[in-house]
Structure 1
Amino acid sequence: MSFNQDLRDTTIQARVGIVVYLNLAQDQFKLRQFGDIVYFSKRKKYCLIYVNKNVAEQVVIKLNRLHFVKKAELSPTESLDFSREHEEQLMKTLAEQAEKMIAENGDFKHENNRW
C-alpha cells in the first residue's frame, strides 16, 4: 500500500514525484515555479520535484515543452508495492531459488565462480 492510498481519507493533499532530466545543471532553479524540488543531481543533471497529484499530468506536459528540459516523467513509486506481505513473498522466493542453486551445484559456487 502506498502513502497516497493512506491519504485518501484525510484532508492532506496527495503528492506525486516528477523526474526531470535537464540539459544544463544550472537550469534546476527554473523548476521552482512548477513544484517543490526535493533532490537534484548535478553530475547526472536530473531533478526530482513534487507536485499535487491532481495537476501532475499537466505539469509533465508543460515541462516536456520547455527548451531546457530533455525529458520529464512521473515517478514510478505509485506502481511499486511496499507492503510487508509482498516483501515476505519476495524473500521466500529468493530463498527457494538459493536453496535450489545449492542443491544443483552441491556447493556455494555461482555459475560464474564469483562466490
Structure 2
Amino acid sequence: MSINQDLKEAGLTQRMGLIVYLVNPREQYKLRYYGDIVYFSNKMNYCVIYLNSDDEDLIDEIKELSFVKKVEKAATESLNLDSQYIENQIAKMAEETEAELEKRQTEGVELLN
C-alpha cells in the first residue's frame, strides 16, 4: 500500500515529490511559487519540492523555466511500506546476520586451532 493511497483514504491532500535539477542554484527560490521546497543541495544543484498531486500540469511549466535542467518525479509510489512487508524484511536480515555471525565464529575457532 502506498502513502498516497493511505492519504486518499484518510481524506487528506495527496502530494507528489519532484526532483528539480538547476542550471543556476540562486534561482531556486522561484520554485516556491509552484510548491514547497523541502531540500536543496548547493553542491549538486538540485532541490526537492512537493506539490499537490492535482497539479500535474505544473511539471511541464517547471520544465520550461530557464534555470531548470531536468525534472524527475520522486519514486515514493513505488515504495512498499506495508507493515507486514517491513517485518518480513527485518526477519530476513536478522537470519542473514545470525548466519554470518555463526560462520565467523566457526572460522575463528578453526583459526585458533
TM range (shorter): 0.7 to 0.9
Q: Which residue is equivalent to 2:59?
A: 60
Equivalent position SS for 2:49: strand
Provide the C-alpha distance between the structure 2 equivalents of 1:96 and 1:107, rounded to a whole number of angstroms: 18
Q: 1:52-80 CA deviation, whole Å, 9 max, x = no partner?
A: 11223x22233223231121111111211
Q: 1:53-108 CA deviation, whole Å, 9 max, x = no partner?
A: 1223x222332232311211111112112222121111111122223334445358
Provide the C-alpha distance between the structure 2 equivalents of 1:96 and 1:7, rounded to a whole number of angstroms: 34
Q: Once superposed, what is the RMSD of the aligned Cα atoms?
A: 2.2
Query: Which structure exhibits the higher relative contact order, with contacts defined as CA atoms closer than 8 Å and separated by 6 or more residues?
Result: 2
User: Amino acid of the residue matched to residue 50 of structure 2?
Assistant: Y
Q: Pick the structure with greater CA Rg.
A: 2
Between the aligned residues of both structures, percent identity stands at 38
The structure richer in helix per residue is: 2
Q: Which residue is equivalent to 2:17?
A: 17
Does residue 97 of structure 1 match 2:96?
A: yes
Provide the C-alpha distance between the structure 1 equivalents of 2:9 and 2:19, rounded to a whole number of angstroms: 27
Equivalent position SS for 1:40: strand
**Alignment: residue pair count:** 107
* Unpaired segments ≥5 residues, structure 2: 109-113
TM-score (norm: length of structure 2): 0.76
